[in-house]
Amino acid sequence: MDIENTFFSYLSERLRNETHLSDITWALCSTSELFKQLFLEYCFDEKIENIVTFEREYFRGNCRLDFFIEDSFKQEYLIEVKIYDLNDHIKQYNKTFPKAKKSFISNYTIKATNGWKIKTWKEFYLKIEKELCNFSNNEKKIICNYLTYLKSVLNFVEVKPMDLSNISSLVDFYETLKQLEDECKVVKLNEYKSSRNAIDSESYGIYFWYEIRKNVNFIFWIGLYLPENKMYIYVEYKKERCPEREAKILKELKTGKYHDKAFNEGPDTPIWIPLKNKYYKQLCEKIDIKTQKNIIKSFLEEILLKLK
């Protein structure tokens, strides 16, 4: 690792909050016109030309914007930056800036909000990574260092294609499961933080919960059952984890596109739903990670959607 990259790695250990990320992103936007255009295009899904104002920390009334942009036609744009803070100011900004175009960029996903573009830092990272070839040599070096900083601040682990027949791929498998929380759009997942025994000598996975309907949560495990070299969704038959209605649906689950028929050994025993073997085999081959991620996501969503 060269000295500049090392510097940005150390910088990310101290300057990790939203203010720091916004400051460093603003400084790079002010340094590189191409980077600024890519940042704004990503945030607003359009090319913004004739920019006359590009401000960091803009005040109006009781609002303090992270980024404020205005073009020569008086069209206003604002960007709200978040990492982990869930306290957004969307209603306040809508009231103060009713005609502005608005973008929300964070390290998590929120429900689509009328008039706002909802974006993630992770997807921005991947966009800039793909655009590196378009920067000049001088720009490219600092952009790479910025990506080093961004990757560390986001705790973004870039997973490689998996071969689940190889134990070294378990780390990539686990990170892929964790990323389901952000990447599943059809159902909103949350990692079940207080869960125990998500990993033991026979199983390797993670617990999630999601709200099926108001005040009705469903908790399940997804992962590998190592003695059988298979991937399962596993549901404990307990009312606080799997309500009666959902348990009945799962017990009667027939073979789907991605999953085999569900099974359990008795009325109050856990329910197991296996990934079809032909898809599991693709997780044991080093095909592209996008295809592998889609298999896991589709397997999960196909089952959970039946509980809606």
Per-residue pLDDT of the chain (308 residues; tens, 9 = 90+): 567 777 877 777 788 888 999 999 999 999 999 999 999 999 999 999 999 999 999 999 889 999 999 999 999 999 999 987 777 788 889 999 999 999 999 988 777 777 899 999 999 999 999 999 999 988 998 999 999 999 888 877 777 787 777 777 888 888 888 888 887 777 778 788 755 567 877 788 999 888 877 777 888 899 998 878 888 888 877 767 888 888 889 989 999 999 999 988 766 778 999 999 999 999 988 888 999 999 999 999 999 988 87
Quote the tokens at residue 286.
Answer: 């080093």
The pLDDT, as a whole number, for residue 195 is 56
Distance CA 48, CA 294 (A): 33
Model pTM score:
0.58
**DSSP one-letter string for the chain:** --HHHHHHHHHHHH--SHHHHHHHHHHHHHH-HHHHHHHHHHHHSS---SEEEEEEEEEETTEEEEEEEEETT--EEEEEE-SS-----HHHHHHH-TTSEEEEEESS-----TTEEEEEHHHHHHHHHHHGGGS-HHHHHHHHHHHHHHHHHTT---PPPP-TTSGGGHHHHHHHHHHHHHH--SS--EE-TT---SB-SSEEEEEEEEEEETTEEEEEEEEEEGGGTEEEEEE---TTTS-HHHHHHHHT----SSB---B-SSTTSPEEEEBPHHHHHHTTTT--HHHHHHHHHHHHHHHHGGG-
Separation between Cα atoms, residue 66 and residue 56, nearest integer Å: 6
Most distant CA atoms of the chain, gap in Å: 70
d(CA 13, CA 99): 38
pLDDT for the residue numbered 14: 81
Calpha distance 181→174 (Å, rounded):
12
C-alpha span between 239 and 234 (Å, rounded): 15
Q: What pLDDT score was predicted for residue 267?
A: 67
Q: What pLDDT is attached to residue 181?
A: 82
Residue of 15, 48, 54 lying closest to 31 (CA atoms): 54
Residue 36's closest CA among 5, 77, 74?
A: 77
134: its two tokens? 């378009």
